[in-house]
Structure 1
Amino acid sequence: MIGIYVRVSTQEQAISGYSLDAQLDACIEKAGTQEVMKYVDDGYSGEFLERPDLERMRKDVREGLIDKIICYDPDRLARKLMNQLIIDEEFRRKGVEVVFVNGEYAASPEGRLFFSLRGAISEFEKAKIKERTMSGRKGKAKKGKVVKNDHVYGYDFDSDKSEMIINEKEAEVVRFIFDAFTDPISKFRGMNGIAKHLTETGVPTKKGGAVWHRQVVRQILMNETYTGFKIQNRYNTEGMLANKYNRSKEDKIKMTERPREEWLYSPVPVIIEKEQFDHAQELLKQSRRRFTKKSTNQYLLSGLLRCETCGNTLTGVNRNNWGTFVLHYTDVKNTAGAKHKGCGIYIKCEELDKHVWDQIQTLLNNPEQINAFQEVAATSESFEEKELKRLTEEIERTKKGRKRLITLITLSDEDLDLNEIKDQIRTLQTKEKNLQEQYTNLQAQLEAEKKKETNLEILKQAMDLYFVYKEKEMPFEIKQRIIATIVKEIRVHDKETVEIITF
């Protein structure tokens, strides 16, 4: 029986015109009969041998069902020369004749040499196609274009313009997710609560699914694209195509992150402001501790306490004290896998809760301090922005001066004091380095001031909630929510000394 093998990948079909029908017609014509067994791999790369119908054909050859194979071209069997030779040798050992439509390869030294040359050329062509494709994508990305549709929730992809455009219905959901997660008076408890609400209200996922999972909400909260730019060329995925053929975990190739200087940034429409995104990232770091499952006993500072000495978190325990059970916070860990058993700190919940709440109330009851802080922050930011602009101009002047001196050395025919010019160049280099350091330091200060403004908004949100309940008996959940909004971490140095770290 004659076997006909045809293969095409989507990329090759578009570039080279290797359609399956055209290959089949040519192979059947070469066979001179319609009584053939067809083996078709549609959409599979020729880089790997693990292809469904190729494996089926090799099995049929081993079982003696095939005595002749017709293929359009050697690169349909495999793109790599080594793989071509492996398959050809395997078939010939079984006495199976391999015939190609696009060229005759005699079973002679000359024929084998020509076969090898064709294989080497095919492998070279594959590498060049890959290189051109990657180069083209990088070129588009450097021009600010989005080269790939990652199906980011909240956006649609315009393939003609290589741009991302806002999907208003999805963007509203994205805004809701960020608002629900960062709002101190939100009724949703973390990512699980948000996912449950979206599922119950029938909001479809990006793929049209009916169920939202916690991890999907987390991915949206962590996606910096919503702040106005998409990072491209961030990950190196070379060789990962083979993972679907590799059967063992050891053989699978892992995706790696490229150096940050190789990342490319493309502008996209803004859905979430940078300040809110940054605040969400801070809350994400604490979410596992903040939104833990409710216990029988209530602990006001749950998820916020950490021992400064050993690094253990402090958890609540109901401790038996001479027949009376009293709630305590402790850093003692009794689990087998604990890295540190703890320093043995035990603090009564009532005492520590009161100490922290008194300090929070002192902060919230002094709004004039907040207004003064806002005015200072605004003035400081304005000064730093002006100073950054001045430093940028000064650095550019220094660079131009150094370039002029270098040009003077290389192009001038006059007798010059080269040592003096080189000294001037070194002086300008030192000046540029100092200016660059000043610029970096000021930029860091500016970011810190912006962070202060973000913190100010968080404080105001907590204050609004506080004054709603100030004259009433404040529910435990509201008090806990106010503390969790303002406090990032409470570091316990010993029983008497605690440090409250705010956002």
Structure 2
Amino acid sequence: MELLTAIYVRVSTESQATEGTSLDTQQETCLKKAREMNINEQDIAIYREEGVTGEDLDRPELDRLRTDIRNNKINTLIITHPDRLSRDLYVKVSVCRELENREVNLIFHDVEYKNTPEGQLFFNLMSSIAQYELSQIRSRTVGGRKKAVRDHGKIMPMRVAPYGYDMINQQLVINESEAEYVKLIYQWYVYEFKTLKEIGEQLYLLGAMPKRAESRNWSASSIGRILSNEAFIGKYYYNKRATKKVKREEGGKSNKTASGKTKKTYTIRDKGDWILVNIPPIIDLGLFEIAQQQKKKNLTRKGRNVKQFYLLKGMMKCAHCGRKWESTTYSSKTKKGTTTYQIYRCANKYPRKYGEGIERCNIPTVRTDVLDEFVWNMIVQAIKNPENLKNNLNEDKSTEDLDKVLMTYKKQRLEKEKEKEKIKHMYRKGIISEEELDNDMNEVMKDISKFDFEIEKIEDKVSIIQRQSMSEDLMLEYARQYKDLLENDMLHDEKKREILDRMIDEIIISYNEENKQFNVSFYGYLNGFYNDTENNLVLELTPQEI
């Protein structure tokens, strides 16, 4: 079989690949080199890599070339410059070893390469310098992007804007039609308590189109991301994720996606490395935080399939040791036979760890029917008398004063950013020295950090007030929804559990040994409904109920 001469050319950007000039120039240069070596054009195979980075060893045309080399079809390889093979030293050395093992002659047009110890040393030195240059270019590029984001609020190019937004002139602007669906998703999730599946079905019926999909089918993960993305409250974070390309090992699984792109893994950077860009919000901050609480509840209370139904499963915590209360079934033998009954107990009553420092919690167990009835009666009172909640909570829910302070801090922070630019300008003009630059910049950055801290504190306060105010609204909405069902006694166990999940974040159980009484405290939307801790929150039990 007649052996061929291979020509490999590559460009790394899509624009170069589309224009074709760089590829064509490289190809013509290599063909000229082949003619100087008296190689016939019909004995030449061309491998054109269009718009593919040289950092990866896995490239379509390079893979085809390496396969032909392993099948002993190639005896000479011509490339314009080592950088076209790769700037990465590991990739270069890997390919060159394959060529050496198959006795393939490697020719570069722009540099002289000899397969001698001296030639290989020179080649490796050039490769190390190229790799260093690549790292420097990447560092400068990343630094420039961060500066554009931090100083000018520019949004860097992304594959697709978040649902509800469009990317226009490096800014995220609200897509009004998509934003309406975002609002509906939060409305359904928080106020109507729909599952992700039910929300997806509603979106499909309404004709809502997912951002990246070619059909109207919505996935639970897409809806979940919408319910947790802080962009919808006006906070877009740049430099949040670190990406790393997946390298394919010899004989291992493919590192390519269905579309042929290299797979990537993602990790979340430390929050201190994130850069915040303020964008137009779609969702109220209070509503967003209630949705996060609801997601957390759904996650922590999603238990395995069990034979017995426990109304308060996963909701109770022990005031004495801090452990969760669990539910189980006991059996006891009597003269009439074996009797089973359900109980709630602290998980630390019978700890699963043993040894020094492990102490049992001595709080008594409680019959589930007794505690369920007690808690449910509290819920019924709240639903039937929601006006009590309004009366017992502080009526002054205005954030007007906090908003003014917040605006002042943000203006002062902006002034510090301008001061930072002035210091840089003075250094570039030679007015101040490098030492003065460092000192002045350090002082300004300290002030900016202080403003960031104060701004975050105020935003947290505003968030709490908004969440409380919205909790009242939710409480009234829940009461309206369920009042008729309560009066008509139309509530089954699962519906009762649904109401509890909406209204209670946590139930704290404590026991007074002297009085033989349990104290029950509610946290969540019922918090504040009972501001009078008299007997309505004390559970007195007979010995048979414990």
TM bracket, shorter-chain basis: 0.7 to 0.9
The counterpart of 2:286, out of the listed 275, 281, 286, is 275
In structure 1, how many angstroms separate the alpha carbons of the residues matched to 2:202 and 2:210?
13
The equivalent of 2:166 in structure 1 is 157
In structure 2, how many angstroms separate the alpha carbons of the residues matched to 1:269 and 1:434?
25
Alignment partner of 1:300 is 2:311? yes
Residue 358 of structure 1 deviates from its aligned partner by 2.5
Tell me the SS of whatever aligns to 1:34. Answer: helix
The equivalent of 1:456 in structure 2 is 472
The letter for the 1-side match of 2:373 is K
The equivalent of 1:311 in structure 2 is 323
The equivalent of 1:7 in structure 2 is 10
The equivalent of 2:437 in structure 1 is none
In structure 1, how many angstroms separate the alpha carbons of the residues matched to 2:208 and 2:397?
41
TM-score, with length taken from structure 2 = 0.69
Alignment partner of 1:66 is 2:86? no
* Count of residues paired in the alignment: 459
Residue 435 of structure 1 deviates from its aligned partner by 12
Aligned ranges 1:195-210 → 2 under 5 Å:
195-199=200-204, 203-206=208-211, 207-210=213-216
The counterpart of 1:500, out of the listed 522, 529, 533, is 522
Tell me the SS of whatever aligns to 1:265. Answer: strand
Q: CA offsets per residue over residues 274-319 of structure 1, 9 Å max, x none?
A: 1111000001111135566886765433442345546345346596
Contact 2:285 2:463 in 1 (8 A): no
The counterpart of 1:236, out of the listed 242, 257, 281, is 242
In structure 2, how many angstroms separate the alpha carbons of the residues matched to 1:174 and 1:151?
16
Contact 1:302 1:315 in 2 (8 A): yes
In structure 1, how many angstroms separate the alpha carbons of the residues matched to 2:451 and 2:281?
33
Residue 97 of structure 1 deviates from its aligned partner by 1.7
Assess, with a 3 A threshold, how the Cα gap between structure 1 residues 352 and 113 changes in structure 2: closer, same or farther. closer
Alignment partner of 1:91 is 2:113? no
In structure 1, how many angstroms separate the alpha carbons of the residues matched to 2:454 and 2:29?
71
Assess, with a 3 A threshold, how the Cα gap between structure 1 residues 319 and 194 changes in structure 2: closer, same or farther. farther
The equivalent of 1:367 in structure 2 is 387
The equivalent of 1:426 in structure 2 is none
Q: CA offsets per residue over residues 140-179 of structure 1, 9 Å max, x none?
A: 21211110325345235335x0122333333232222211
Contact 2:69 2:99 in 1 (8 A): yes
Tell me the SS of whatever aligns to 1:496. Answer: strand
Residue 76 of structure 1 deviates from its aligned partner by 1.3
The letter for the 2-side match of 1:22 is T
Contact 1:307 1:491 in 2 (8 A): yes
Contact 1:27 1:101 in 2 (8 A): yes
The equivalent of 1:353 in structure 2 is 372
In structure 2, how many angstroms separate the alpha carbons of the residues matched to 1:302 and 1:278?
24
Assess, with a 3 A threshold, how the Cα gap between structure 1 residues 371 and 391 changes in structure 2: closer, same or farther. farther
Q: Is the deviation greater in 462-471 or in 347-356?
A: 462-471
TM-score, with length taken from structure 1 = 0.74
Q: Is the deviation greater in 386-395 or in 267-276?
A: 386-395
In structure 2, how many angstroms separate the alpha carbons of the residues matched to 1:391 and 1:64?
70
**Sequence identity percentage:** 27
The counterpart of 2:269, out of the listed 253, 258, 270, is 258
Alignment partner of 1:226 is 2:229? no
Residue 269 of structure 1 deviates from its aligned partner by 2.7
Aligned ranges 1:172-211 → 2 under 5 Å:
172-183=180-191, 185-186=192-193, 188=194, 190-199=195-204, 203-206=208-211, 207-211=213-217
Contact 1:145 1:163 in 2 (8 A): yes
Contact 1:289 1:302 in 2 (8 A): no
Contact 1:231 1:264 in 2 (8 A): yes
Aligned ranges 1:398-417 → 2 under 5 Å:
none
- Pairwise CA RMSD: 4.5
In structure 1, how many angstroms separate the alpha carbons of the residues matched to 2:94 and 2:406?
63
Tell me the SS of whatever aligns to 2:33. Answer: helix
Residue 95 of structure 1 deviates from its aligned partner by 3.3
The letter for the 2-side match of 1:376 is D
The equivalent of 2:177 in structure 1 is 169
Tell me the SS of whatever aligns to 1:314. Answer: strand
Tell me the SS of whatever aligns to 1:20. Answer: helix
